[in-house]
Amino acid sequence: MFSFFKRNKAKVQIPEWADFFTPAEYENFLAQIDKYFKKEKISYVINDGMADASSDRFGGYQIGLLNLAQRCKQAAPSAWNEIIHEQFVQMEELAAFDKKFIEQSTDFSFAKEYIGVKLYHVDYYKENMENVAIVRHLTEDIVAMLVFDLPHCIKNVARRDFDAWNKTEDEIFTLGLKNIEEKYHPDIIMQKIGDIQCWLADGEHFYAPNIVLDLANFPLVIGAYGTLVAIPNRHAAFLYPIEDLEVVTACNTLIPVIYNIHHEGPGSISNSLYWYRNGRFIKIPCEIDDNTLRMAPPEEFVEMLNKLEEKK
C-alpha cells in the first residue's frame, strides 16, 4: 500500500500546519506526494506535517512537508509535480552526502569551514534539542543555533561533533557567525511599505535575518530610540529606526505584513514584532484576529513612546 489517504468525496480536513491551502489545493498536494511515492514504490504515512517513508534512501529521517507545501502554494499547480520531485531527489542526494560527511564531521580541520549560525523559532529547537550542540536565545521565541552550512543543505551540529573539537562554545559560535557573514553578506535596502520607510535585509539564501545578530555594526538601522525588528522568515528581516511618533504607524503597518510573510513561508521564523535597544530585544505582543489588530506593548515601550514627538 503506497497511499496514506483514501480518495473519496468526503470533505478534506486541512490540518493546522497546511491551513494556507484551500481544500482543493491541499487535496492536490497530497495527490502529488502520493504520486511520487507510488512511482518510486515506497510506502509512507503522513502525520502532523511529516512524511515517514519506509526507505533508507532518505537517510532514515522523517520528511518535513511544511516548507515544500509553502513552495507549492506560491507556484502554479502545474509546477507542483516538478517541485515535489526535485525536493525528494535532492533529499536522497543529501542523505548520501550526509552519510559521508558524518564520518569526518568530528575532525575540526575538516568541519570548520562548514560551521555556521542560523535563526529558528524556538519550537524547532525544542523538537530537535537532543541533536543540537549550541543554541542561544535571541528573544523568548527566536534562537540562534549552530549548524553545518553544507553545499546542498543545512543540518544541526550534533553534540558529538562539538565535544570532539575541544573548543569553547564562544569560539565555535564566533566562527559560525564569521563564516556566514563572509559567505552571505546581507543586502540591505530602504523599502517603502505603506506610509513608512523601512530597512529590509533580504536574500535568496537562508541567512538574511542574521543581520540582527550584529546590529551594532549597522548604525544606519538604529534610531535614537532603538529599532523595530521583525524576522518573519529565513529570507528577510525588517528594521525600522525609531526617531519619533511615526513608530506607531510603523507598528500598525508592519504587523500585518509580518503575519502574511510568516504565514506564507517558506522557512517561517516569527510573526512577532520586537523593540531592539542597547543590545536587547523586547517582544511587543500583538495579534490579528478577525482582521482586527491588537497590541499590548510592554510598559518600557510605552514609556519610550511618551517621550517621542510627532514627525517633523
Angle at which helix 80-102 crosses helix 66-73, to 10 degrees, equals 150
Residue spans of the domains in the chain: they are: 16-98, 108-183, 187-305
Condensed to tens digits (0 to 9), the pLDDT of residues 247-257 reads: 999 999 999 99
What per-residue confidence (pLDDT) applies to 6? 42
What per-residue confidence (pLDDT) applies to 11? 64
CA–CA gap between residue 274 and residue 119 (Å, rounded) = 15
What per-residue confidence (pLDDT) applies to 108? 96
What per-residue confidence (pLDDT) applies to 48? 83
What per-residue confidence (pLDDT) applies to 243? 95
**Which three cell numbers mark 103?**
564520518
What per-residue confidence (pLDDT) applies to 98? 77
Reported pTM: 0.76
Q: Does the pLDDT of residue 150 top 50, yes or no?
A: yes
Percent of the chain at pLDDT > 90 equals: 59
CA–CA gap between residue 196 and residue 247 (Å, rounded) = 9
CA separation (Å) from 218 to 189, 227, 305, 310?
Answer: 12, 11, 23, 25
Condensed to tens digits (0 to 9), the pLDDT of residues 29-87 reads: 999 999 999 998 888 888 888 888 877 777 666 788 888 999 999 899 999 999 999 98
Which residue from 257, 274, 266, 271 is spatially nearest to 212, judged by alpha carbons? Answer: 274
**Which three cell numbers mark 120?**
529558528
Condensed to tens digits (0 to 9), the pLDDT of residues 75-133 reads: 999 999 999 999 888 888 877 777 788 889 999 999 999 999 999 999 888 887 777 77
Q: Which of 6-20, 58-72, 209-223 has the lowest mean pLDDT?
A: 6-20
**pLDDT band at residue 4 using 50, 70 and 90 as cut-offs:** very low
**pLDDT band at residue 294 using 50, 70 and 90 as cut-offs:** confident
| Cα torsion through 193, 195, 198, 200, rounded to 10 | 10
